[in-house]
Amino acid sequence: MILAVPQSVGSADSNLSITTQASSTKSTLMSIQFRTLLQGWAVGTGGIILKSVDGGKKWKRVKSGTAALLTSVFFADLSTGWVTGAGGFLSRTTNGGESWLPQSLDTQQPLYGMYFTSPMVGWVVGGSGTIFHTRDGGQHWVEQASGTTAALYAAHFLNDQKGAIVGALGTVLSTDDGGITWTPQEMQSAVTLFDVFFTDAATGWAVGNAGALFQTTDGGGKWVDQTLPCGKTCTRLTDLLKVRFTSPQEGWIVGERGMLYRTSDGGHTWSEGRSIAPTSLFGLSFPDAMHGWASGENGTIVHLQSGR
C-alpha cells in the first residue's frame, strides 16, 4: 500500500510516500532502528526480534531467548546491538542481530530506553529512576545516581559526556560529565515525556502525552512549551511517542493512532498531523534524511520516503 500524502503547514513544498511493510507478526513493535537503508531491526511484545537486510521488504524473526516485552533496540554499528525489556532484561549481539546473548544487570526494573555513542560506551534507562552505564561494551555496568524515582523512558547523547534523559512527571535530566552527575532541569509541566532528541549542543526536543512538545535552545537549561494545538478534526490531544530530526530544520514526530507530524523549519511550524497507520506508532528511525521507518501496534511497520 502506497499513499501520496501532501504535507501541510511548514512543509508544503514536499510530498511524502508512505509504504506499509509486511512484518508477518501481530506483535506490538515498540522500537525500530535502521543503521543503513537496507539493514534494520524491530523489537516488541512476546520477546520478538525482527531483522531486515533489504530495506524492510522482508522481515525475518530472530530468536531472542525471552518472552519478555522488548522495549527498545539500538545498534551502535552494523555488528554491535542491544535490546532492552521488562524485568531488567538486556541482551547484546555482536553479529548484526543473528544471535543474542543476555547481559546481567543488577535490577528487576523494566528498562525502557538506551543510547550508545559507540560500541563501547552506552546508557540504559528504566523504571524508578534507573540508569546504568557501560564504558567497555557491556562487560561491566555501573548504576548511576539519577536523583529521581520517576520512570525514565528515553536518553539521547551528543557525545560521551553530554546527554539528556526524559521520563514521567516532567522529568528531564542532563549531564556534562557522562552521567557522573545528573542535573534535573526545570519543566513547567508534570507531563510524561516519552522521548528526547538533540540536533546540536544547544537545541533539543522532548515529546510526551497529550500533545506535549518542548524545545530547549540553551542545552536543556530551559524548556519552552510548544505543545501542538488540537487541530480542526481532533477531539483530544494525541500522545506523542517518538521524535527524530534528520537535520536542524527537518523533524518528525509519531504517536498514538498512527499520527505523524513534520517540520521543515526547525520546529517553528509543524504539519497539522495526519494518520499514516491505523495503530499507534512507538518506534521511529531515520538512517538518512530521505528515508525513515516507523513501527507500532499489530506488527505495523511503515516506510517513509521524503519527496525531496
Q: Can you give the three-state secondary structure of 16-70, one letter per residue? A: EEEEEECCCCCCCEEEEEECCCCCEEEEEHHHCEEEECCCCCCCEEECCCCCCCE
Vertex 206: Cα angle to 200 and 207 (nearest 5): 145
Partnered with residue 125 across adjacent β-strands are 113, 131
Give residue-wise pLDDT tens across range 94-134: 999 999 999 999 999 999 999 999 999 999 999 999 999 99
What strand order describes the sheet that includes 90-93? 70-75, 81-85, 90-93, 101-103
Closest CA to 80 of 92, 65, 66: 92
Q: What is the pLDDT of residue 14?
A: 56
Would you state the pLDDT for residue 28?
Answer: 98
Q: What does each C-alpha distance from 123 to 51, 118, 154, 183, 287 come to in angstroms?
A: 23, 11, 10, 16, 21
Q: So what's the pLDDT on residue 4?
A: 35
Q: Name the pTM for this structure.
A: 0.94
Distance CA 233, CA 253 (A): 18
DSSP 8-state class, residue 258:
G
36: closest CA among 241, 290, 272, 257?
290
CA distance linking residue 205 with residue 199, whole number of Å: 8
pLDDT tens string, the chain, 308 residues long: the values are 333 333 333 333 358 999 999 999 999 999 999 999 999 999 999 999 999 999 999 999 999 999 999 999 999 999 999 999 999 999 999 999 999 999 999 999 999 999 999 999 999 999 999 999 999 999 999 999 999 999 999 999 999 999 999 999 999 999 999 999 999 998 878 899 999 999 999 999 999 999 999 999 999 989 999 997 776 666 778 999 999 999 999 999 999 999 999 999 999 999 988 999 999 999 999 999 999 999 999 999 999 999 75
Task: Give the C-alpha separation, 202 to 220, whole Å.
Answer: 7
Residues 244 and 284: beta-carbon distance below 8 Å:
yes
Q: What angle do CA 301, 304, 308 make, to 5 degrees?
A: 175
List of residues 6+ apart from 233 with CB closer than 8 A: none
pLDDT at 301: 98
Alpha-carbon span 242 to 256, nearest angstrom:
10
Contact 8, 293 (CB under 8 A): no
Q: Helix (H, G, I), strand (E, B), or coil: what is residue 179?
A: coil
Contacts of 46 (CB under 8 A, 6+ apart): 27, 67, 69
Do residues 291 and 278 lie in contact, with contact meaning Cβ atoms separated by under 8 Å?
A: no
The answer to whether the beta carbons of residues 111 and 135 sit under 8 Å apart is no
Per-residue pLDDT tens over the stretch 197-243: 999 999 999 999 999 999 999 999 899 999 977 766 667 789 999 99
Q: How far apart are CA 163 and CA 3, in angstroms?
A: 37
